[in-house]
Structure formats: C-alpha cells, structure tokens
C-alpha cells in the first residue's frame, strides 16, 4: 500500500473517474477526503470506500476556503480532478456561447488554481504532492471542444509554473492527460470520436477509468518528485510526447 499514512484530498470524487480514483487511493492505504458539488453522490462514494466527504463549489472562493480550512490533520496530497466535461463538446468554436466558455474555465482552471492555493500551506508542511487531471485533447488539438481543450491546456501550463514555485519547498506537482475514458461523462461523445481513439491507440480498444488510477497513486508518493512539472499522457499510446 504505497499511500499508507498519507492524507489525500480528491476533488470531483462523486462519480466517473473520481469515484474510481477514490476506491483505488483508499485501497493503496490513503486516508481520503472527497470533495464534490454533488453532495448526495459524493457522500455515497465516501461511505462506500471509508472516506470523509466535504461539499465544495469550485467556482466559489468562499466554498474553496471553507473546504481547505476544515481538513482534519496533515495533508499529504491533492488531486485536482473536478471539472466540467459533460455536454460541452460537439460544437464549433464559433457556436460556443460566452457563458459556457467562461463557466468551463472558471471551474476547470480557476478551481484548480484556487484549490492549490488554499491547500499550499498544508502541502508545504508535509512536502506533499499535487496531481492535476488534464486531458490529451489539449496535446493533439481536438476539434469542436474548444472550452474544454483550452481549460486543460491551461492546467498543463499552470502545472509547469507551479512546479517552479512549489519546488523549493519540496512540493511536487504533475499532470496526467488521459484520452477518452469509458465513463458517463463521455457518453455524449460521438461514436466517431470514440472510434478515433480506439483505433488510434498503440494499445487498441477502449480505455476504462481504472486504467489511470495506479498512475495517480504513484504520483502522490515521495518517489514522484522527479516528475514535477511534467504532463504525462496516460492514453495507452494515442499521443506521444
């Protein structure tokens, strides 16, 4: 159990990839706190895996500060997983309205920054780890998904900048960039896009969310410090960097 004795905060743990990560992190020995806007689902996942739960709205400064201030004990890791991903693709960039674009960036970019900022003092105290969940769509330039691609590209850039600011204190931060995972958040994605990934991967076929859980767990360990600032494509060889 590579995370035994480590307290990890996971945002967006109520469903999809987040729920899978919650189970895996606990199985690896972590003391886990799940944070999500979907309180009922989040509490159910927390109860199922033996984790704590706190509601949070990543678009609200006070909500983020309240969460960070309510954490019990030392904090050793933060996983910025929460994001808007459902129902925002399929339209050309000229058809995306201002409110949608702003809302996606508010949660996916601002939310990750705000959570990192709020947790930074606690993570500096433990020389902790941060894992940002990005997307390989920002590496290959997926079309008809402009707000999401822009937000995940920003998360990657932010990871590099934060690595240099947090590194002197021994805090490591990395990003992973999965492809399309088989979760409810990708059910709306056109079949042609699913086939593009399935056929184009070095390891062909669909990619379940369980596929990236072990990578996230490792990146929360002491040994992951050498990877700080990096974005790791975790898409079974769809994108190479």
- Respond yes or no: is residue 148 known to be catalytic: yes
E strand spans, 77-230: 77-80, 129-133, 172-178
Report how far Cα 84 is from the mean position of its chain's Cα atoms. 11
Catalytic hit among 53, 113, 148, 197: 148
Report how far Cα 55 is from the mean position of its chain's Cα atoms. 17
Alpha-carbon span 34 to 32, nearest angstrom: 6
Helix (H, G, I), strand (E, B) or coil at 54: strand
Q: Which of 215, 3, 6 is nearest to 123 (CA)?
A: 6
Q: DSSP alpha helices (H): ranges in 28-145?
A: 39-49, 61-70, 98-105, 111-126, 137-140
Instruction: Give the phi and the psi of residue 133 in degrees, each rounded to 5.
Output: -90, 105
Catalytic residue list: 148
């Amino acid at each position: 159990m590579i995370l035994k004795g480590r307290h990890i905060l996971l945002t967006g743990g109520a469903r999809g990839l987040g729920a899978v990560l919650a189970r895996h992190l606990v199985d690896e020995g972590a003391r886990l706190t799940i944070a999500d806007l979907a309180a009922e689902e989040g509490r159910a996942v927390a109860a199922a895996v033996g984790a704590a739960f706190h509601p949070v709205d990543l678009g609200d400064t006070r909500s983020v500060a309240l969460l960070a201030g309510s954490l019990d004990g030392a904090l050793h890791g933060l996983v910025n997983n929460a994001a808007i991903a459902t129902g925002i693709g399929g339209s050309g960039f000229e058809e995306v309205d201002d409110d949608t674009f702003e809302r996606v960036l508010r949660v996916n970019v601002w939310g990750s920054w705000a959570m990192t900022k709020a947790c930074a003092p606690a993570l500096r105290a433990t020389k902790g780890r941060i894992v940002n969940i990005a997307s390989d769509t920002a590496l290959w330039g997926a079309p008809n998904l402009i707000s999401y691609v822009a937000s995940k590209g920003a998360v990657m850039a932010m990871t590099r900048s934060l690595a240099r600011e947090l590194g002197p204190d021994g805090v490591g931060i990395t990003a992973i960039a999965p492809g399309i995972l088989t979760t409810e958040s990708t059910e709306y994605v056109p079949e042609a896009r699913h086939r593009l990934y399935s056929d184009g991967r070095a390891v062909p076929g669909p990619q379940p969310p369980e596929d990236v859980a072990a990578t996230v767990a490792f990146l929360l360990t002491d040994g992951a410090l050498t990877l700080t600032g990096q974005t790791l494509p975790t898409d079974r060889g769809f994108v190479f960097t």
